[in-house]
Structure 1
Amino acid sequence: MGGESKWRKMKLALGLNTCLYLPKTDGDDESPPRTSDVSPRMPTTPTPSSSGLQLSKYGHKSSPKRTCAICLMTMKSNGHAIFTAECSHSFHFHCITSNVKHGNRVCPVCRARWKEIPFEKSGSSRVKSGINSASWSQQDSWMILQGIRPQQMPSNRHVPLLFQAPEPPIFDDDELVNQKVEEISSGNTNSNGGVEMKTYPEVSAVERSAHFDNFGILINLKAPVTKGNLNTRTPIDLVTVLDISGSMTGTKIALLKQAMGFVVQNLGPLDRLSVIAFSSSARRLFPLRRMTEVGKQESLQMINSLVANGGTNIAEALKKGAKVMTDRKFKNPVSSMILLSDGQDTYTSISPRKTGLKPYYQTLLPPSVGKKDDFHLPIHTFGFGMDHDAVAMHSISENSGGMFSFIEAENVIQDAFAQCIGGLLSVVVQELRVEVECIHPVLQLGSIKAGSYNVGIDDNGRSGFIEVGDLYAEEERDFLVVIDIPVEESGNDMPLVKFRVIHKDPIKKTTTVLGTEDVIISRPETTAGKQIVSVELDRQRNRLRAASAIAEARAAAERGDLAAATLLLEDCRKKLAESVSARVGDRLCTGLVAELREMKERMASRRVYESSGRAYVLSGLSSHSWQRATARGDSTDLTSEITSYQTQSMVDMVSLSQTMCFSRSPSTSMINPTAGQSNNKKSLRSIHSFPAPQPR
């Protein structure tokens, strides 16, 4: 027949655990053979006119060398596809696609001119036959065989990640939100009661003739308890962005699949999940889909197909993850993203060596995510191992309103995910806002201590606000308002400020406004024997003091002055030990002292700081800033001494992570049902964070 057949144009075969060799014949049919006829068979001696895709597991018998002529690495690198050209020279597929991506048809070894290359631009003959080569990146070199779905492949084969249809230009193919959400919002409630609010002045009385500068007023907020029922809790849209670069091979990617299996199994039929896998580029495995039984099975199949290879392109992965959220047609009440990486972005120019400027890590964050007033999408980042860019990961989470966790030990990855999911699946409060207003006519707000939360004070200093956002069930937040108390000659009582709390119920979509009684202190002639110091407020001052010391110590460590860094931590530890709350045996203060000691040890040398200290400190700062639990390191010393920010939902999910066994089925065969179970106790201890206040 005239011209090359469509089947001939798709002869680059599937990259499975074998190779498919298709010699050119004069009798090629215009139609591809039936799926059942495409049986793998080993080549004998390749002809000059043949090209094929195979896995290096089997090697290549005709190549003059056992190494790739481009990267000079062995052809036996596990999991690397190999391209054999018409001239019989072979290369790693990701190497040659990079070499010829602009249409170069010359062999790098013998300079022979090729008739066919593994990559061609859109609009070429390959596109007509169902292969859009331009849509794949270097490591995304698996070719698509039009008309064959992953479900049709042999169940014992390891299906490549990219064996699927090309991505649409707009991600508006998300699955319809279940109508039960509306039924829930008009029926049951997802929590017991509303937000609880308490206020504490620093002292109960100030002498009339005295002024008190930097007088503190604490407001404590506590979210209601959730019922924890799948049919009454708030549904979530979750995008997980997973690093599958070459450094994730072996145990790492196996544990990642296991952790993702746990996430999938614990999402409900009202929740929706989408997965972005990235290495040298990023690809959406599947759109936002509900985690019904069918949705779970199909999701696990795709997750199990992941193959580690290539570089690390975090910026593109985040951009694609944000696109899933911004393009979606439907929305669940809660939206969030999880990012896990064990490396550094090798494609985005953020290094001072490249730019000559201070690293600008926010360039990794999609613009749509940074606009908190427009689109709030917290990105919870997980730095895995010793080689990840902790500063970049912390910056991404901090600028998006998410948490940064440091996973030091491989066997903790599932527990870290479990803690995060335990919180995300228990959101009971949204759009929480705290407003404060001075009552006494001469008072002005000095400052509002709220960590990373958005804070504002009006021009005349008489009122201010704190934008808090979402709260998980039973979560607490403590904010400190500072004012100067002037001399007051008249009256026995002095009203200071009043608070108002506004928040939305994510299920009922109703708004609640909660106000307090005025915060009042007495102004006696003398306070001798009448002074009552607030332990609750002193506890929070200690927390803020420790957070400040850790931030200063980290800055000193980054300058290379570890001696100054450890001195700052030790000085703070001594001050905490002398505080009012320390003298009454406050557990938070005890935990802070232990935390400072741990950080001091992780700054003992440049090697220790670079390998784990920086990530450990940044994870702690993240926990301080947002007053929320993070996973930190692999220390087993702190959790026996402190109470973490973990809520009961988080604790329950971590416990479930350590006891849950996955069913062995074809869709979950890659998920190890027993991995890590022998280390359950250690894993649980590794999930810890900044201590929470004692029950009042």
Structure 2
Amino acid sequence: MAKAVEIKAYRNEAAPLKAHEQTLMVKVTAPATGKKETAALDIVFVLDISGSMAGDRIAKMKKTMEFFVKEKMGAEDRLAIVPFSSDANDKSHAKLDRMNDDKKKKAVVAFINGLKAHGDTNIAAGLESAVKMLVEGRRPDRACVIFLLTDGAQNHGDARKVKDVSKVNVQTYGFGEKHDPTLLYELAHKSHGGAFHLVKDNSAENNLADGFGMVLGRFRDISVLNVRVTLRVTPKQKEPEKIHDVDPGSYPTEHDKEKGSFTVEFGDLARLEARRTMLLLHLPKVHKEEKGKTVLTVECLYRLAGAAKDTKVGPQEVKMDRSSKANTDETKPEVELELFRRKHAAAVDEATKLAEKKNFAGAREKLAERLSALDDLDNPKSEDLVGFLTTQMEHMFDHMGSQEEYDKKGKALALSILSSHARQRPTVQGHVHDDSLFYLKRDSKYVAQARQFHINPNTRF
């Protein structure tokens, strides 16, 4: 029998008798299934081949694509490649094909290696073609993703106007320092679960392969599809509990007032990947003590990789004692750390807004405040979080000193950081780290293999 998604609620065991609000955290974690229990993948690479990609950049892109096609596309996977410059006019591999034949793989690699840099940058044309393919060919038992790479700002078409982006997952990559990070961030977050990644253009290394490797490795490991979490109180009570706010990051949420419920759509999750939702729960006044009062129910609906129908876990009851001895000031360590992380992300957002107004002194002051708060954090579970957030803040601080530095590096770095926090997943933030708060231990495997292939393309895995 397949393992189920785990639901865990973090809250105080007891609450006072008076009417008040409590902050709870609900965490869902994908099961630790075997490698053969992961989903087949539909993937579209949307690749910039405009004139600015000439030379070393397109060479790195070709080597990166060769590695993933030859080594990481399985027989059940379907792959399409959409190169774009002034238009997305080469349709020879712009359809989803199974990678179940060695000749087909060789043909795809030959196509990739034959790409030449020329023309302008029409991101919209490439994205539109990719979205259409995935929407029209979507199958509920497969994981789908678009990898969109560009090193420049669009100068033909408008990618913001591409339809149906919200129906697919788009991972966007800004390569170098001349792309438009705002556009790429917006496209990723308009999509369903996408994120924005910043890749340094380092002549000595292929950071592009590292960045693609980290993210593709996560998609290769997807074990549960279309994860939906429903939080519900019992509105029929005379004085019911009420959910006043739900914050799952930047994932879509539907509120059913009649049922007193909120449903969060997290999309697909890899093995052991987790998502956290914070909620503010109003508890009504009670006149006597009560043990094990159900204040919330949580259920999760999803489809296991390869399954013909959905699986449901729950409803799982979340209970609290109502006690005259309870203290409203108590907070679970896990809840405290999650709130702290979100304050950190909010500070990065505020600093970025100040920088956009050319107030770099104010931006640095905001970041310095959060660095100081990290020093003051006293929590037994905080060691990994403090190290991770300190590194982020220090990098941000270094790139907020001037307009030139902010335009070249600071803005894109900030947006890749914000993307990571909003999606609760690792993003490439200039170069690949192995200390991300959202990293899984196996994420480094694809990165290491991509680096090895860069050194020796004859390596097999």
Q: Does the TM-score normalized on the shorter chain lie above 0.5?
A: yes
Task: Give the Cα–Cα distance (whole angstroms) in 1 for the partners of residues 62 and 458 of structure 2.
Answer: 11
Change (3 A) 1:517 1:336: closer
Higher RCO, 1 vs 2 (CA within 8 Å, ≥6 residues apart):
2
Partner of 2:74: 268
Out of 356, 364, 368, the residue aligned to residue 164 of structure 2 is 368
Task: Give the Cα–Cα distance (whole angstroms) in 2 for the partners of residues 427 and 196 of structure 1.
Answer: 15
Task: Give the Cα–Cα distance (whole angstroms) in 1 for the partners of residues 332 and 138 of structure 2.
Answer: 50
How far 1:473 sits from its partner (Å)? 1.4
Partner of 1:147: none
What are the equivalent positions in structure 2 for 1:202-217 lying under 5 Å apart?
203-208=12-17, 210-213=18-21, 215-217=22-24
Out of 608, 619, 623, the residue aligned to residue 405 of structure 2 is 608
Out of 404, 409, 412, the residue aligned to residue 196 of structure 2 is 404
What are the equivalent positions in structure 2 for 1:217-296 lying under 5 Å apart?
217-229=24-36, 232-265=37-70, 266-282=72-88, 283-286=90-93, 287-291=95-99, 292-296=101-105
Gaps of 5+ in 2: none
What are the equivalent positions in structure 2 for 1:385-464 lying under 5 Å apart?
385-401=176-192, 402-410=194-202, 411-439=206-234, 441-459=239-257, 462-464=260-262
Task: Give the Cα–Cα distance (whole angstroms) in 1 for the partners of residues 33 and 195 of structure 2.
Answer: 22
Task: Give the Cα–Cα distance (whole angstroms) in 2 for the partners of residues 533 and 383 of structure 1.
Answer: 39
The structure having more radius of gyration, on CA atoms, is 1
**8 A contact 1:498–1:517 mirrored in 2:** yes
Task: Give the Cα–Cα distance (whole angstroms) in 2 for the partners of residues 533 and 331 of structure 1.
Answer: 40
**Structure 1 residue identity aligned to 2:231:** V
Name whichever structure is richer in strand by fraction: 2
1:563 has 2:361 as partner: yes
**8 A contact 1:577–1:593 mirrored in 2:** no
**8 A contact 2:211–2:431 mirrored in 1:** no
How far 1:442 sits from its partner (Å)? 2.8
Task: Give the Cα–Cα distance (whole angstroms) in 1 for the partners of residues 266 and 364 of structure 2.
Answer: 33
Change (3 A) 1:516 1:573: farther
Normalised by the length of structure 2, the TM-score is: 0.90
Aligned-partner SS, 2:430: coil
Aligned-partner SS, 2:164: helix
Normalised by the length of structure 1, the TM-score is: 0.61
Aligned-partner SS, 2:25: strand
Partner of 2:150: 341
Aligned-partner SS, 2:287: coil
How far 1:251 sits from its partner (Å)? 0.7
How far 1:662 sits from its partner (Å)? 9.0
Task: Give the Cα–Cα distance (whole angstroms) in 1 for the partners of residues 31 and 446 of structure 2.
Answer: 18
Change (3 A) 1:657 1:315: same
1:500 has 2:305 as partner: no
How far 1:322 sits from its partner (Å)? 2.2
Task: Give the Cα–Cα distance (whole angstroms) in 2 for the partners of residues 285 and 661 of structure 1.
Answer: 27
Task: Give the Cα–Cα distance (whole angstroms) in 1 for the partners of residues 287 and 111 of structure 2.
Answer: 74
How far 1:520 sits from its partner (Å)? 2.1
Name whichever structure is richer in helix by fraction: 2
Out of 472, 484, 487, the residue aligned to residue 282 of structure 2 is 484
How far 1:271 sits from its partner (Å)? 0.8
How far 1:601 sits from its partner (Å)? 1.7
Aligned-partner SS, 1:335: strand
1:621 has 2:418 as partner: yes
Partner of 1:380: 171
Gaps of 5+ in 1: 1-188, 350-360, 371-375, 664-671, 675-696
**8 A contact 1:409–1:634 mirrored in 2:** no
How far 1:405 sits from its partner (Å)? 0.5
Residue deviations 1:225-266 (CA, integer Å, cap 9, x gap): 24224xx53211111011111111111011000000111021
**Structure 1 residue identity aligned to 2:313:** L
Change (3 A) 1:331 1:533: closer
Change (3 A) 1:467 1:325: closer
**Structure 1 residue identity aligned to 2:29:** K
1:314 has 2:110 as partner: no
Task: Give the Cα–Cα distance (whole angstroms) in 1 for the partners of residues 393 and 444 of structure 2.
Answer: 24
- How large is the RMSD of aligned CA atoms in angstroms? 2.5
Residue deviations 1:341-388 (CA, integer Å, cap 9, x gap): 000100136xxxxxxxxxxx622xx21223xxxxx2111111000001
**8 A contact 2:3–2:33 mirrored in 1:** no
1:578 has 2:385 as partner: no
